[in-house]
Amino acid sequence: MMMDTHHSNKQTKGAITKHKIIVEARDLFYRQGFAATSTAQIAKKVGVSEAALYKHFKGKMALLLATVEPERPHDQEVSYFSTLSNLDLLGAWTEQLISTVFHNRPQYTIIFSESPRHPELSENYIRHLHQLTNADKELLTRMDKGQLPKLDLVLFQVGIIGSFLAMLTHKRIYEPTLNLQDIPEDIRHTLISIVEGKLFQQ
Amino acid sequence: MMMDTHHSNKQTKGAITKHKIIVEARDLFYRQGFAATSTAQIAKKVGVSEAALYKHFKGKMALLLATVEPERPHDQEVSYFSTLSNLDLLGAWTEQLISTVFHNRPQYTIIFSESPRHPELSENYIRHLHQLTNADKELLTRMDKGQLPKLDLVLFQVGIIGSFLAMLTHKRIYEPTLNLQDIPEDIRHTLISIVEGKLFQQ
DNA sequence: GTCTATAAATGGATAGAC
DNA sequence: GTCTATCCATTTATAGAC
């Protein structure tokens, strides 16, 4: 009845089904939005009955929460970041951030678009955004030492992610054929330039 | 039956009702999202029956389209912008952009969040974003002359707006008591610094 | 132009058999 | 753990009276 949520390896039949449900629900929430997606549609896509779906999740809301767990970025060693110049550190920080967001687009898109309506989601959101990577820590250290100007890193991060997701959406709308396997070069360039402060520098 | 949609002055009773419907629907779409808002809820808030609502709009979709018409920014004279230094022009451009977005938050929020799902909305979106202000034109002129680096202005604009809306949402979530009558200073500062390229400049 | 009443379909969620 | 069948509230939208 409780399923083996404490296992990360999906071995039992039930766990496999549960995982499938999460994957398909995430895809639908991402593409159609939470409210516009019905549990019937999810069940159909997974190939199970709605009743089965409700054995794995208490409700649609519990399912939403399960779909937004982002994977951690491939974090580098602290020592690596500490060797970088300010500019290179900022570049590496940005690269890591947008790479993480890009490879977890569905999760981030769902969180950013549904958070205002679902406070439960915000908790998840801050839990991840506030979890500092080594690049974050190195940035904060240098801000403390006065080597970099101080700013609200979380707010800035939110801004960068919001900007990134908006540009990706824009491109998808006007180039529907676009295959988004890699981060489009113009978007990457714009973001890196923004962070490194050379957007309108001559 | 067709109402006087060609008049901008809301004089007749029907037109007043129609305007009220748009205002209340916009507010609900903004706060709850399109899919999560029912026509019954809108009608109740306006104080009319659903049937009346459907006399003014063919369907929920037509109503959505009616809610996202942004007002034009208070555009300055070209001569004003042409006197500015590059940095001041960028500052003025950003100020005008975020001011327009801020005072039409519901419209921009709805457009940005619902566009991926509703292609009809995208047309509206590009119609407005592509409509160049005088500040836009001056920027493009200087890019052409090589006085400023060239970049995709629309994509950049989308990025700035996405960033702005995300930061506003972030603040609203973590400071629910916040009275958003003016643009929060930290957000304005972050955006201006981004555009002027002095975010991490020392 | 606005109402009441209602159609017709779909929404989330559960009971109970296997 | 999964199914069929079903409950009941809500959904968009319309018919027809006033």
The reply to whether B163 touches chain A by the CB within 8 Å rule is yes
Answer whether B120 touches A (CB < 8 Å): no
Taking residue B39's Cβ as centre, other Cβ atoms within 10 Å add up to 16
Cβ–Cβ of A151/B202 closer than 8 Å?
Answer: no
pLDDT digits (tens, 9 = 90+) for A49-74: 999 999 999 999 999 999 998 766 67
Residue reference for tokens 């748009």: B22
Domain parsing of chain A, residue ranges: 13-67, 78-196
Interface check B160 vs A, CB under 8 A: yes
Residue B140 contacts A, CB cutoff 8 Å: no
Nucleotide C17 C1' to residue A11 CA (A) = 27
B116 contacts in chain A (CB < 8 Å): 31, 169, 172-173
Q: What is the pLDDT of residues B15-36, one digit of tens each?
A: 899 999 999 999 999 999 999 9
Q: How far is the CA of A115 from the C1' of C5 (A)?
A: 38
- The nearest CA of chain A is from the CA of B44 a distance in Å of 21
Across the A:B interface, residue pairs with CB atoms under 8 Å apart total: 141
The protein residue nearest D10 (Cα–C1') is B38
Q: Do the beta carbons of residue B99 and residue B161 sit within 8 Å?
A: no
Looking at the partner chain, which of A149, A158, A199 has a beta carbon nearest the beta carbon of B202? A149
Q: pLDDT tier at B176 (50, 70, 90 boundaries)?
A: confident
- d(CA B24, CA B56) in angstroms, rounded, equals 14
A83-93 b/e (C-beta count within 10 Å ≥ 16 → b): eeeeeebbebb
A13-67 in CATH: which number?
A: 1.10.10.60
Mean pLDDT of B33-55: 98
- Give every CB contact of residue A18 below 8 A, 6+ residues apart in sequence: A3, A10, A56
pLDDT in tens, chain A (202 residues): 444 444 444 467 788 999 999 999 999 999 999 999 999 999 999 999 999 999 999 999 999 999 998 766 677 788 899 999 998 999 999 999 999 999 999 999 999 999 999 988 888 777 877 788 999 999 999 999 999 888 899 899 999 999 999 999 999 998 889 989 999 999 998 898 888 877 776 5
- What's the average model confidence in pLDDT over B159-187? 94
